[in-house]
Amino acid sequence: MSHRDSLFSAPIDKLGDWTFDERVAEVFPDMIQRSVPGYSNIISMIGMLAGRYVTENSRVYDLGCSLGAATLSVRRNITAGGCEILAVDNSPAMVERCRRHIDAFRAQTPVQVIEADIQNIEITNASLVVLNFTLQFIPPEDREALLAKIWQGLRPGGALVLSEKFSFADQAMGELLFDMHLDFKRANGYSELEISQKRSMLENVMLTDSVSTHQQRLQAVGFKHAELWFQCFNFGSLVAIK
Ligand SMILES: Nc1ncnc2c1ncn2[C@@H]1O[C@H](C[S@+](CC[C@H]([NH3+])C(=O)[O-])CC(=O)[O-])[C@@H](O)[C@H]1O
Ligand SMILES: O=C(O)C(=O)Cc1ccccc1
């Protein structure tokens, strides 16, 4: 169903900034699987968290949903009744494919796929919010305001899953984990040229924080509990409870 990512295999003249356009959307499942260590584990474990945290008559928000992988995992695992999933992305190419992808499966819980900037939507009555590798694309100065809005929109006891690529304060550890990620990409068939062209396109667009920056920000907006529950190299996921 999904095509192999060879978008950056030939030399590109002028490398612009990264965008989630048609071409990226077309190969996205292959790209993310080969680029993000732990991705499929995180997707299936978001489903397990949904089984625990999604309560009757509440909403789930999948912010930066891409093709809806997290939404589908959540939907498969919801046992509570009267729930609704809102899957939001600002890339028209992703939203169009996400709708088709989700309509291909039947299930109880309805899903609304919304084309919007997650910074502009309203969040209410949420028992679970998923930011699966999306906050890293929001300008750093806007991240706290977005998390504050999520906190406001969560029910007491509700959960936020925040998965990100991390930076590290310790330079030696940062280099080791970064290099292990490079090895992971090489092992998945990416060439040095593909790796370096993609890195340069992401440079201005995807700005990473350390785990402790994420923890401090979550605490600052009001989350009582926040912990890293998964990590593979410089990628991982936190869960925060209101
Ligand atoms: N301001 C924004 N508003 C809405 N969407 C945005 C914004 N900025 C970026 N996006 C969207 O966030 C997604 C990030 S990918 C998420 C993977 C998915 N969660 C998954 O579980 O497969 C992660 C990655 O590619 O590393 C893209 O689809 C963007 O269009
Ligand atoms: O490929 C990388 O180096 C990444 O950091 C992850 C990624 C995966 C898919 C789109 C953009 C970034």
Q: Which residues pair with 170 in a beta bridge?
A: none
ipTM: 0.97
Q: What are the pLDDT digits (tens) for 86-103?
A: 999 999 999 999 999 999
Quick one: pLDDT at residue 197?
84
Which residue bears the tokens 């900034």?
A: 17
Between the CA of 154 and the centroid of ligand 1 the distance, in Å, is 21
SS3 128: strand
Query: Which of 209-217's residues contact partners 24+ apart within 8 Å by CB, and which partners?
Result: 209/136, 209/140, 209/143, 209/164, 209/166, 209/167, 210/166, 210/167, 210/168, 210/169, 211/166, 211/236, 211/238, 212/169, 214/162, 214/164, 214/166, 214/238, 217/143, 217/144, 217/147
Which residue bears the tokens 């490398």?
A: 15
Query: Considering the domain 16-58+74-241, what is its CATH architecture?
Result: 3-Layer(aba) Sandwich (3.40)
Quick one: pLDDT at residue 1?
55
- The domain locations on the chain are 16-58+74-241
DSSP state at residue 207: -
Kindly state the average pLDDT of the residues 103-132.
Answer: 96
Q: Which of 8, 18, 32, 36 has the most ligand 2 atoms within 8 A of CB, as the residue to mutate?
A: 36
What whole-number distance in Å separates Cα of residue 192 and Cα of residue 182?
Answer: 9
In this structure, how many other beta carbons lie within 10 angstroms of the beta carbon of residue 82? 10
Judge whether 132 is annotated as a binding position.
yes
What percentage of the chain carries pLDDT values higher than 70?
99
User: Cβ < 6 Å from ligand 1: which residues?
Assistant: 20, 32, 64-66, 69-70, 88-91, 94, 117-119, 132-134, 137-138
Q: What are the pLDDT digits (tens) for 155-181?
A: 999 999 999 999 999 999 999 999 999
Quick one: pLDDT at residue 200?
87
Which residue bears the tokens 């504050």?
A: 148
Mean pLDDT of the chain: 95
| Whole-model pTM over 0.95 | yes
Kindly state the average pLDDT of the residues 44-65.
Answer: 98
Q: What are the pLDDT digits (tens) for 70-89?
A: 999 999 999 999 999 999 99
DSSP state at residue 141: G
